[in-house]
Amino acid sequence: MSRYKTVQALASGLCALVWLAWPCAGFATEEDPWAPFNRAMFAFNDTVDTYALEPVAKAWDKVVPDRVQQSIVNLFQNVYTPLVALNNLLQGKPHAMAVDTARFLANSTFGVLGLFDIASTWGLEKHDEDFGQTLAVWGVPAGPYLVLPFLGPSSPRDAVGYGVDSLATVYWFFTDIRFTVGPQTVQVINNRAQVLDAVRELKAASVDYYAAVRNAYLQRRAAQIEDRRDAATVNDDLYRVEE
């Protein structure tokens, strides 16, 4: 199956989930109108994480050196840098787009295909943009808070943005899905290993883990859209079972 067909199926699934969540609006609060659906999805994601992903991530963290883990993070961040640059352009930020392009060229060459973040040592700032943020800049409302299976916290706007970003990831676009599952699995496990302590601490400190994750996510998302520097203080992988 091609990645294009896979993303088409994912997009259809996201639309279906938004449709299924809609009837829950009458049973929850104004702050979180789809709370019954969201809590069910959150519980599902947490179960998958607790019994499947977290144990694998713990084993990974024990056997894979920190430097190697960081290089894997760098590699995948570099893979998606052209997409970040494109979203900066669509948001009317040509300077940020130019910096992203320079980062990609520097890390792809001197950084050995992105394994080493040479660009940051040269003072080229890293940005974190996606099409969900682009839609926000264009004035598209977020819609209600929405928890997606495996993908975690989102909104109707960001669900659409995720689908568009997936389609626009040119590295995998023409590649058979059989050849992308391995690298993406490594990415998911490695990303989860990066936040083992953060997730454990958040669970321990939360009276309502669902609400804590929701509030932290919404605050971070607002900071990302407004390009506030405090958006970088929390890792997105704190909320997601997979990327």
pLDDT for res 31? 77
CA-based nearest residue to 203, from 42, 64, 56, 61: 42
DSSP 56: H
Average pLDDT over residues 156-162: 96
Whole-number percent of the chain with pLDDT over 90: 72
pLDDT for res 243? 44
Q: Give yes or no for residue 121 having a pLDDT over 90.
A: yes
Nearest-angstrom CA–CA distance, 12 and 93: 31
pLDDT for res 234? 54
First to last CA, the chain: 19
CA-based nearest residue to 239, from 181, 201, 206, 192: 192
Q: What is the pLDDT of residues 65-105, one digit of tens each?
A: 999 999 999 999 999 999 999 999 999 999 999 999 999 99
Nearest-angstrom CA–CA distance, 168 and 177: 15
Token pair for residue 152? 């975690």
Question: Rounded to two decimals, what is the model's pTM?
Answer: 0.82
What backbone torsions phi and psi does residue 127 show, to the nearest 5 degrees?
-115, 160
Q: 9: Cβ–Cβ under 8 A, 6 or more apart, which residues?
A: none
Lowest mean pLDDT among 30-39, 52-61, 88-97, 121-130: 30-39
CA-based nearest residue to 172, from 188, 183, 186, 158: 183
Token pair for residue 150? 């495996």
Which has the higher per-residue pLDDT, 97 or 176? 97
Nearest-angstrom CA–CA distance, 171 and 69: 21
Q: Residue 124 in contact with residue 103, Cβ under 8 Å?
A: yes
Q: Give yes or no for residue 1 having a pLDDT over 80.
A: no
pLDDT for res 17? 52
